[in-house]
Every structure is written in C-alpha cells, then in structure tokens.
C-alpha cells in the first residue's frame, strides 16, 4: 500500500490525521491494558469486601459465643429434666422401690406387682406405654393417698383401671384394690436405612 502523502494538503489535515491516530492508539491501550486492569481491580475490591464481611461475621459469632454456650447449658439442663419425666430406660428396680415404699408407708399388703413386656411405640409417638399391674389390700383413705403420691412422681405415672372391693374381714385393712400404674419410656428414633443405589450388589 502506498504511503500516505500530505504534500499539497492544508496543515489542518495533518493535525486531524494526527488526532485520529492518537485517539486510535489511546483506544487500543485502553482496550488491551487499562480495561483488564480495571476488571482485576474491581474483582480484587469485591473479594476484599467479601473477606471483610466474613471477618465481621466471625467477630459477631465470637461475641455471641458466651451466649451460645449459655443456651447449650440451659438446653442440657432441660434435657436432663425431660429425661427424668420420660426416661429412655424402664428402671424397674427404682419403680419397685418407690411403689414398695408407698405400700409400706400406707400399711398396705402388696398382693401383686407385675411388670409386663414393654409395648412398642404407636405410630409416630416417641414413647412406648408400660402398664404395671398392682394389687393391694388396705384402707380407702390410704389408697387415695397412694394414688396422689404416684401422680406426684417426677416420672409420669398415670393410675388407670381401678377396681375396689370390700374385704370380707374388716380389720386393719378394709378394701382390696387392683389398678394399673401406667408409665412411659422414651424410644430413640431409628435412623432411616440407606437406600442402595441402582445397580449396586445386595
């Protein structure tokens, strides 16, 4: 291509061509160097802001750590209290001792104390019923006191299916009573079984 000749052209033509070339050079420099540097600067700035946010979140969590620990301790105390109301074990010996202590205190004759097998949990309930059969001979007033003490146990105990009859010989003990002391046992939920992947060997 023949070179550009400005001979015989007015002076401003050269000026215009020089300006056009200068603008083109500046545009190329901006496109090739300045714009990528601006993009890198903006990306670095966004990364710094993200890091600042995470640092502030970490500091906020650190400030709340004592509060979290206090809440965990409170929940542990609450769980312990709930475990005493609805234990995860039957604790047969403990119940025998408590019922025998109440029977002795009320001057009862204990005729029967039967602990059946623990029933399975029903549906989605997290507990299983455990009905304990009790038969005693005593006095009516003492029987009411016995029921009141049973209902005041830390562990949930409901008195059901009460049957009272008069004794043929009215001496120190005037009635015979049969009832069910129903308590409950917490059943740990079972984790769902893992479903084998298709094509996996059994």
Give me the tens of pLDDT residue by residue for the chain, a chain 202 residues long: 445 555 666 666 667 777 777 777 777 766 666 666 667 777 777 888 888 888 888 888 888 888 878 877 777 777 676 666 666 666 778 888 888 888 888 889 888 888 877 766 666 667 778 888 999 999 888 998 888 888 887 788 888 999 999 988 878 888 999 999 888 888 766 655 555 555 555 5
CA 169 to chain centroid: 57
Q: Which of 106, 81, 123, 84 is nearest to 174 (CA)?
A: 106
> CA dihedral defined by 123, 126, 157, 134, rounded to 10 degrees?
50
- What pLDDT does residue 168 have? 87
- What pLDDT does residue 86 have? 63
- What pLDDT does residue 93 have? 81
202 CB-near residues (< 8 Å, 6+ apart): 196
Q: How far apart are CA 199 and CA 191, in angstroms?
A: 23
Q: How far apart are CA 143 and CA 177, in angstroms?
A: 8
- What pLDDT does residue 178 have? 94
- Complete DSSP assignment for 11-70: HHHHHHHHHHHHHHHHHHHIIIIIHHHHHHHHHHHHHHHHHHHHHHHHHHHHHHHHHHHH
- What pLDDT does residue 72 have? 78
Under a CB-based contact definition with an 8 Å cutoff, are residues 202 and 196 in contact? yes
């Amino acid at each position: 291509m023949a070179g550009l000749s400005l001979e015989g052209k007015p002076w401003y033509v050269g000026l215009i061509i020089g300006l056009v070339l200068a603008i083109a050079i500046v545009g190329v420099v901006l496109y090739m160097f300045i714009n990528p540097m601006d993009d890198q600067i903006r990306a670095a700035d966004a990364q710094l802001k993200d890091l600042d946010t995470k640092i502030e979140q970490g500091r906020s969590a650190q400030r709340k750590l004592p509060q979290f620990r206090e809440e965990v301790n409170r929940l542990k105390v609450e769980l312990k209290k709930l475990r005493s109301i609805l234990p995860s074990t039957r604790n047969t010996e403990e119940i025998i001792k408590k019922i025998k202590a109440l029977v002795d205190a009320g001057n009862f004759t204990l005729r029967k104390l039967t602990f059946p097998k623990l029933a399975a949990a029903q549906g989605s309930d997290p507990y299983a019923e455990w009905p304990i059969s009790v038969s005693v001979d005593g006095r009516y007033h003492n029987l009411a006191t016995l029921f009141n003490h049973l209902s005041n146990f830390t562990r949930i105990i409901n008195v059901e299916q009460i049957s009272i009859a008069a004794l043929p010989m009215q001496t120190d003990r005037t009635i015979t009573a049969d009832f069910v002391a129903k308590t409950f046992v917490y059943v740990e939920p079972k984790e769902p079984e893992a479903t084998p992947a298709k094509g996996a060997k059994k």
